[in-house]
Amino acid sequence: MSFDDDNFMDDYEIQELIDKFENQLKNGLSSFFDADELNIIIDYYIQRDDFSKINIISELAERYHSESPLFNSIMAKKYLSIQDAVNALAFLENENNNKQDPDYHVNLGYCYSLLNRHQESITAYKQAVVLLERQNCDDIYNSIGNEYMMLRDYEKALLYLKKGINGCVDIAEQYSEITNCCFYLDRSDEAIKFLMKEVDKNPYSIAAWMSLGNCYLRLDLLEKAIEQYEYALAIDQHYDKAYVNIATILNELGRYKDCIETIEEAFRNNVSKPILYCLYGEALAMTNNKLEAVSNFKKAIEMDDNIAEAYAGLGSIFCKENDHLSAIKFLKHAHKLSPYNTDYLFELAEQSNKLEKYDDTIKYLKTIEEIFPYDINLYIAYMEVYILQENIEEAVRSIEKGLDILGRQAPLLYRMAFISFVQDDEEMGLLYLEEALALDYEGVQDFIYFVPDYIMNNENIVNLINEYKSKNNK
């Protein structure tokens, strides 16, 4: 990372210098380049990740300019280009550095950032701003903002990210960071207002419309999100991310025909991505076009054999066909490609249950627990498999663990009531049932669904449910 001093050389002069360097490389480097020139040349190749040229430049600096104040800067840049902060810092801490050079402090800031010394990084960046007299500092403001984000000081991060908005390299990423700060601060309305101003300033900014859509998506305002993504498509009918986001939401909303139409529009506009074929397959499967769905999942795999969603889609189809072995085969492949996706693991657990492979079920549930132990469905799934094994003790322990981790959640309390009734502990069962009813009366429908008739015929249970029904109808 470095600061480009635009006042030193203009773009034409820099290009002339680069052309000269390239020509000399072909001819064995017969020309001499001073330290200032090498410092400019290395910045050029760092921006292009051309490490072979970076190494050549650092070798020239070592050979001809080891006594120059710029030598340490050039060497530091070499090591920073490969994120070797330890060696970079060794050169930056050399007393022979020009500490009045903003470039020095920018590189020092980046070095500290790589070392997770974020407060020191901020101090270095701010010193660069001072030396530049706050002129042309947008990129440095962005760096400061990112450091504050690492420190979870989102208020200050937001301040600096906004200050640097005009100088960011990746505007979409900048919008994402700014909106993240707003959401972390529980100020989603501020994120929306900011992005609305951005689209007003530049109504043809796809990044701004997409970011606004993402904001609404985070707020679960799905129709509003779709609207923003459609504005992005109006600007560029070939913008694949907009099609993907719209199709994903339409599937979530159960609007499968609309999803199919959206993806077919993408195909007509020559937008072809593996994930679109997966979403197409999902929508087709839900509209009973299973053969076409399978064909599209296979097409996605042909395009990218590492796309987990396609294997999961095939697994889902076999689940519905009650072909549990085939379902497990494809779901295992999906899990291998995306090991932290708990949806695949839950499905694997369910399919194993249906094959009465309970040890496998528990294995998958334990993997989920390692990844994310805060999913209420995990403890319900544990209970169900232990009930199938007639291991009431472990079933109770599973629900109790869920209550310890998640608190007094109604779905867990309904199941503790069920277990108590199964154990003929009516008194305790009624206590759990009443607590669950008080927390979430609507959840009783789930309770009625999974509880056997002989329990539901209990007069005390029926009366208690009816009592809360009357309370909720008032």
Q: Amino acid identity, residue 429?
A: G
* pLDDT surpasses 60 at 291: yes
Counting Cβ atoms within 10 Å, is residue 324 exposed (0-12), middle (13-18) or buried (19+)? middle
pLDDT over 50 at 81, yes or no: yes
* Residue pair 82/117 in contact by the 8 Å Cβ criterion: no
Mean pLDDT along residues 303-316: 97
pLDDT at position 336 over 90:
yes
**First vs last C-alpha separation in the chain:** 66
d(CA 142, CA 132): 15
- Position 446, amino acid: D
> What pLDDT is attached to residue 407?
96
Instruction: Report the Cα 410 to chain-centroid distance in Å.
Output: 30
pLDDT in tens, 41-66: 999 998 888 998 999 999 999 888 98
* pLDDT value of residue 30: 61
E runs forming strands in 385-449: none
Nearest CA to 76 out of 91, 86, 63, 62 is that of 91
Long-range contact list for 387-392, CB < 8 A, 24+ apart? 388/353, 388/356, 388/358, 389/358, 392/419, 392/422, 392/423
- Backbone torsions φ then ψ of 170, nearest 5 degrees: -115, 95
DSSP 8-state assignment for residue 442: G
The CA–CA distances, whole Å, from 172 to 55, 63, 198, 243, 392 equal: 32, 42, 12, 17, 53
pLDDT surpassing 90 at residue 391: yes
List the one residue out of 270, 303, 336 whose CA is nearest residue 281. 303
Q: Is the pTM of this model over 0.75?
A: yes
Nearest to 280, CA basis, from 308, 253, 304, 309: 309
Query: Measured between alpha carbons, how far is 233 from 66 in angstroms, rounded to an integer?
Result: 54
**4-47 per-position pLDDT tens digit:** 444 456 778 888 889 889 888 887 766 688 888 998 999 999 88
pLDDT band at residue 474 under the 50/70/90 scheme: low
* pLDDT tens sequence across 182-206: 999 999 999 999 999 999 999 999 9
Contact 353, 361 (CB under 8 A): yes
Q: Judge residue 26's burial from the number of C-beta atoms within 10 Å of its C-beta, 0-12 exposed, 13-18 middle, 19 or more buried.
A: exposed
pLDDT tens-place string over residues 156-184? 999 999 999 987 778 999 999 999 999 99
**Model confidence at 269: pLDDT above 90:** yes
> Does the pLDDT at position 237 exceed 70?
yes
